[in-house]
Chains A and B, each alone.
Chain A
Amino acid sequence: MAEAGSSSEELCDETNWVFYKYRVEWKDVTPVPQDDGPYPIVAIAYSEKFQDIYDYFRAVLKSCEKSERALQLTKDALDLNPANYTVWQYRREILKHLNKDLIPELHYVKEVIEDNPKNYQVWHHRRVIVEWLQDPSYELSFTKTVLSQDSKNYHAWQHRQWVIRTFKLFENELQYVDHLLEDDIRNNSAWNQRYFVINNTTGFKPDVVEQELAFTLEKIKKVTNNESAWNYLRGVLLHHSGGLSQVQNVRKVCEELYSSGNRSPLLLAFLVDICEENIERADGDKADSLHQAVQLCDMLANEYDTIRREYWNYIARSLTQRVNGSEEEASGSTKTDLNC
């Protein structure tokens, strides 16, 4: 119903729009034109309607008028430019001043967001209204609707995280994340949300780490070129005392993939990091690990990940110098100051 109402309003808009300068109820206000100075730069070809509305907006801003009609005026102004933070800020001041019921405001900003889902100001306005209301009950379903149109919308995720954190609404979030990952295992925003939820609820305790590793390895086996899953794997391993190389199931999956002929650059990159860990551990065969790492870097630089050849060459040099440097130290030779 509400939607049908607003669209018929839009139709009227085109044909029956009355400029503010012709409205009797605004006769007492003198419009204030924009003062660009004598030399307008980046002058925008405003429509007559835009100019008229903003002339009156500047007038109420100047006189500090906080009235019903001024509130309506901000709506008209935002209709033409929802990115005008001054108008939003002033609208909030009017809402406060008039002590308005905020539920209709929530519905209004919902419509504006649906038309402008990637706009900072509209999302911020919604957040302030929810803060004022101290009522998050519409937010999860609302952000879900927006994310169903674009499952990676940054603003929607930011709003959702704020609501979940502020009002402690973590309960069903992992289920939602699972559902999004079923739709698109490559949705990095969903992976990030998974990390966010766990980090703020159970934390990455040993049993959670095990469970997350198992989950992620399953996904990696299915789509080996999915960077989101590999990045999440590293994220989880940050919380494992064994690091990258000491976790049996991770090692096993990597080795199986490699010996089955898989040469995903993400797999090879992970293997480089395992070698690096072995180099840094005191007990391992440094020379052998270095040899393997350099070989992998060469494969990446020259065949499997050539776009990143500079990076892989750098990693190979860096590792080599680290090993050779520490050998020099170990053999007691005075290390010449290489940084001079």
Chain B
Amino acid sequence: MAANVRSFEAIKKERFKDENCPTPTSEEQMKVEESVEQLFDLFSKIVEIDLDAPTLLRLHHATFLKKSLTYLPNAYQCLDASRPWLCYWILHSLELLDETLATEDISKIVQFLGKCQCPEGGFAGGPGQFPHLAPTYAAVNALCTLGTEEAYSIIDREQLQKFLWSVRSPDGAFMMHPGGEVDIRGVYCALAVARLVNIYTDALFDNSASWIISCQTYEGGFSGSPGMEAHGGYAFCGLAALSLLGKEQLCDMKSFLRWIVNRQMRFEGGFQGRTNKLVDGCYSFWQGGAFPLLHRILMQEDGNAVSMERWLFHQEALQEYVLICCQNSSGGLVDKPTKPRDIYHTCYTLSGLSVAQHFVHGKANIVGNRNNELALIHPVYNIGLEAALNALQYFQRLHIPQRQPS
């Protein structure tokens, strides 16, 4: 058996103990562990025959993704206002799998994303819809992933900055769209695109750092808005946004670290989003992706104690969860066993897998088949590392628009 696979006999002691006080939380938890244990047991038999296991089903995933790039079944109607997201999730997943696209296909995608760009700046969920920060983030990430001159230059930076001003509120928070909801996703999406395409100004993000800090909870993670419960997706947004502002030191790092390390499930190996909730493959990135950021911060504060071999979570256990429990045998990845595959979970399980496989400078620690290794990501933006560096370099040469609030 491969050396860095956990012993599934030994981890049986990690199963949830309800201390004779069953509640809905413990009952659901034990049910999930049951389904995970079945897959672990099955895997233990497989690995006796196939010493290379677990194997990432690269071809199946790539086929599923490539098909989705052109055709999505009717069930995706509910994502008709998230089409740039669909592009980003697919393109980023393909990039992680080292799949390349034909030049003419890249151009077609760029043109489609151009159709989603709004005259008033920013991108919409689909052609003819209103601009919104989430598809704006997704479209910019998708275009930077494509990384061609045509892709970069289709972004109207002047108008994009104008759009960002239109959704900024004076306290430094951002609405998702004019007249829309305010939460911590807004400030992360705004900062990510502003930094990536070099339209960031201090004025645009005045007060944002203290607004973000007001979302750090007594548990240590970040919530969607002040007062709410700490949550994996929002915690990533909070920490990444602070990194993009260069204001990480404002965060209570000790409690953040304690909160996030405790989100890794002792039996399943994957991450949960909140305290006492269930494991979910997409948090492989939302929680796992925060560790490279944490490493960088801790290196500055406590450099001698920080490991120079590993992130501060159990990288092998996360890889096992993704590879053994999250792969659909006909391609695509899932939240947890018994759930249907979808593009969103495919993107974020693979992104988390890449983080778990690599330490600083791409130092690899691959569970299973050597061929399982994915491409490197830039953890702040969650696009390929090379794509991020290329985009940053490209836009650095351009003039920063200096619009003021109207």
Contact = CB atoms under 8 A, between A and B. Distances in A.
B314 A184 contact: no
B264 interface: yes
Contact of A85 (B74, B79, B87, B130): B130
Interface in A160-201: 161, 165, 183-189, 192, 195-196, 199-200
A104 to B, nearest CB: 21
A89 B74 contact: no
A84 B112 contact: no
Interface residues of A, number: 80
B286 to A, nearest CB: 14
Interface string B312-346: 11100100000000000000000000000000000
Given A86-B124, A321-B305, A185 B275 contact: no
Given A37-B112, A41-B70, A83 B78 contact: yes
Interface stretch (B40-48, B163-171, B176-184, B195-203): B176-184
A314 B311 CA distance: 10
Contacts of A222: 19, 21
Contacts of B72: 42-45
A13 interface: no
A184 to B, nearest CB: 4
B17 interface: yes
Contacts, number: 221
Nearest to B112: A41
A235 B258 CA distance: 13
A269 B262 CA distance: 11
B34 interface: no
A146 to B, nearest CB: 16
Contact of B313 (A38, A85, A192, A310): A310
Interface in A233-250: 234-235, 238
A152 B302 contact: no
B103 interface: no
Contacts of A37: 111-112, 114-115, 127
Q: Which of B76, B80, B307 has the most CB of A within 10 A?
A: B80
A157 interface: yes
A46 interface: yes
A231 B224 contact: no
B100 interface: no
Contacts of B132: 85
A127 B24 CA distance: 29
A225 interface: yes
Interface string B59-93: 00000000011111110111111110011001000
A169 to B, nearest CB: 14
A338 interface: yes
A136 to B, nearest CB: 16
A223 B21 contact: yes
A81 B81 contact: yes
Contacts of A234: 218-219, 255
Given A35-B115, A189-B229, A308 B262 contact: yes
Q: Is the interface of B mostly helix, strand, loop or mixed?
A: loop
A222 B22 CA distance: 12
B396 interface: no
Contacts of B126: 34
Nearest to A32: B128
Interface in A214-230: 222-228
Contacts of B224: 154, 158
A156 B19 CA distance: 30
A227 B310 contact: no
A252 interface: no
Nearest to B303: A339
Contact of A228 (B129, B275, B302): B275
B293 interface: no
A82 B312 CA distance: 40
Contacts of B231: 154
B305 A84 contact: no
Contacts of B125: 84-86
B130 to A, nearest CB: 5
27 contacts: A37-B114, A37-B115, A41-B109, A42-B112, A44-B72, A44-B74, A44-B76, A83-B78, A84-B81, A89-B178, A120-B181, A127-B181, A128-B179, A154-B229, A165-B227, A185-B23, A187-B25, A187-B276, A188-B274, A225-B17, A231-B219, A307-B266, A308-B261, A310-B310, A310-B311, A311-B313, A314-B312
Interface of A: 32, 34-47, 50, 54, 58, 61, 80-86, 89, 92, 120, 123-124, 127-128, 151-152, 154, 157-158, 161, 165, 183-189, 192, 195-196, 199-200, 222-228, 231-232, 234-235, 238, 269, 305-311, 313-314, 317-318, 320-321, 338-339
